[in-house]
Structure 1
């Protein structure tokens, strides 16, 4: 079906130019830091201490290869009223590539998720490093908001008499509404996936494997400038009901429904973006599943506007038992909404599993709405997802590959062959 809300596309190209404004990256960095420091002060913290890569990027405007994401060997301190300090494995390079940091960058020390055992005492060296910096800034007696960290390092901070508190909620407060530059980058990331879906549709045919479609997506996106393709779910035929949430080497066959979810990253900003196709022509059960799924997505999109409570959207979706699942715990993620930004899942989280949240939608929020419906004949399932930007009086859709009907691919007489 066609949605009632308008669509929106990226304004600028992928490259910075001397003759066209494009994304203002200095403004992006400054606005994000300002929001983080405001949230820090509002929470009554002296500073944030962040290990999460996305929080570090939000605060410092820096990045390092994805190889480092799970090492816990990179962190930053963000005071509520002065410039942040970064500890980074490539600190000499950061002084060159990130001049806005000045000399506020140094080498980290970490147990690297337990790779260095606690008896070596690295956690104590780390804690003294943080305490010394807090004393230098005059905030050693104020609470330190932590996002995530290793338990021995947390205990070492407490041993230094640092008042450690949960900082992640305050950081989510800062990040839940996106700036204009963030929204533009999210639109570009979606536009890249728009292009990837056309190549994928052309690749769907009998004999192609689910993994072949994953390869097509990766090749297209990296060629266009993707920073990271976090995941491509590619699920065909009976593997789609129930949803397996991963691709395999299954061979696509005539009559299969195929759905994919592409998680692309452009300049840090993510996509979560499902589309469903059919190899050949759909039968009645497959068309019905697709239309029901589309109606669920459309109902949610129609309800989105500032001030709406999350339960008002979640209640528009069927209960788990109505689409073949035992309970809301097992059905979680199938009728789902989640914020998208530097992280794949941010606020708001919309689900029947988590009813009763106090969060209300705000202008500038960006989130995905995704629904699933299995075909009654067991031949597969429909999965549709749209990303939206909340506007003054509704929302705009920024995922623009067609989803108004089940697109047929791969055999003579199909739309795409």
Structure 2
């Protein structure tokens, strides 16, 4: 008799989301993919292009997945030319069968032994006129750019256009982001329920990933800040885990993003370990909660990015600052607007006004000015027609966990 595998139910998902999770390979509809390919056609018209080259390597390059359905593994280069089926050259050879199964209306070819870009150039030369105009999306090595540029009359950078197109999500993308948020929630709950005295930060990552991997989630990030409330030495979650062991009287704050095929959530929470928060940590988190509430109240169509920064001014009024970015766009990359607080700007405030189906992470990381103590709280939010909604289903607030 086959063993029954029990998986904890993901919060906040409807039947349509569970149906997506149950697919052999989750796929967007043909209509969704056609709309994406129309962007390529529009850019070719706008910039008088003969080809568009989309590139990614080493698990990075969201445009490849966006236009083909294939998440980049080692390397992928896709050539779009009017009148031709898109051709995608990938590495390595053993990745071809799965890529051919997953890629939407794309001819999938091996890039050859360390010659993906030469194969791309051969295709470009075979498809059209000499010295073409080529649009490029993705971060490419200098040698690859030089090789293509030598055969083109012009290279046009389409990265700004691509990421601009990603700011407003389709309804199908929102569904996938809800799944990513549910997986991220599961990761946080796995951490909160599973943490034990003596665990180190490597163990914490194991707890997080074990909670969502059975549902098809993969790790984007799980950053932890663990320190003694009595003698703190950490003001922002760290990117790499320490071997320091969790102890009574600690504070643990986390930033967790589980990925669902390039569609993650992001949940940020803080809890104390086996003790009530000290006055400092209570003040830090009260300020973070107040900032989050004030910013969320401004998340609606028509709000300018500068208003979101202004809404966080109670952080400085309380004598605190921030270390991490305060707000950033999300879903398809680390998107505009990327905003810091008044005391720790993230650069010039962009001229961006919120619109429906934009998605933002609001994540006040309120910290002391000496960089010794901090907390973090926040969610991924969708801008609706009249306001906003969180994509997450985990209660906010400073929690306390009493592990064995």
Q: TM-score w.r.t. structure 1 length?
A: 0.79
Q: How many residues align?
A: 375
Partner of 2:147: 156
Q: Which is bigger in relative contact order (C-alpha 8 A, separation at least 6)? A: 1
Q: Which residue of 2 aligns with 1:281?
A: 276
What is the SS of the residue equivalent to 2:307?
helix
> Pairwise mapping of residues 280-319 of structure 1 onto structure 2 (< 5 A)?
280-318=275-313
Partner of 1:210: 201
Structure 1 position 127, deviation (Å): 6.0
User: Unpaired runs of 5+ in structure 1?
Assistant: 1-7, 112-121, 326-330, 412-416
Q: Does the C-alpha gap of structure 1 residues 172 and 381 become closer, same or farther in structure 2, counting only changes over 3 Å? A: same
Q: Is the 8 A contact 1:336 1:369 kept in 2?
A: yes
- 1:348 is paired with a residue whose SS is strand
Q: How does 1:107-186 map to 2 (within 5 A)?
A: 107-108=110-111, 125-126=118-119, 128-133=121-126, 136=127, 141-186=132-177
Match of 1:74 in 2: 76
**Compared with structure 1, are the counterparts of its residues 49 and 248 closer, same or farther at alpha carbon in structure 2 (3 Å cutoff)?**
same
Task: Choose the corresponding residue for 1:234, options 224, 237, 242.
Answer: 224
Relative to structure 1, the CA distance from residue 99 to residue 166 in structure 2 (aligned partners, 3 Å threshold; closer, same or farther) is closer
Q: 1:358 to 1:43 in 2, by over 3 A?
A: farther
Match among 355, 376, 386 for residue 393 of structure 1: 386
Q: Give the superposition deviation at 1:311.
A: 1.8
Indicate the residue corresponding to 1:347 in structure 2. Answer: 336
Q: Which moved more, 1:238-247 or 1:196-205?
A: 238-247
User: SS in structure 2 opposite 1:347?
Assistant: strand
Note the aligned Cα RMSD (angstroms). Answer: 3.3
- Provide the residue aligned with 1:105 in structure 2: 108
Kindly indicate whether residue 37 of structure 2 is the aligned counterpart of residue 33 of structure 1: yes
User: The residue matched to 1:288 in structure 2 has which SS?
Assistant: helix
TM-score scaled by length of structure 2 = 0.81
3-state SS, counterpart of residue 338 of structure 2: strand
| 1:407 corresponds to which of 370, 376, 399 | 399
Equivalent residue, structure 1, for 2:86: 84
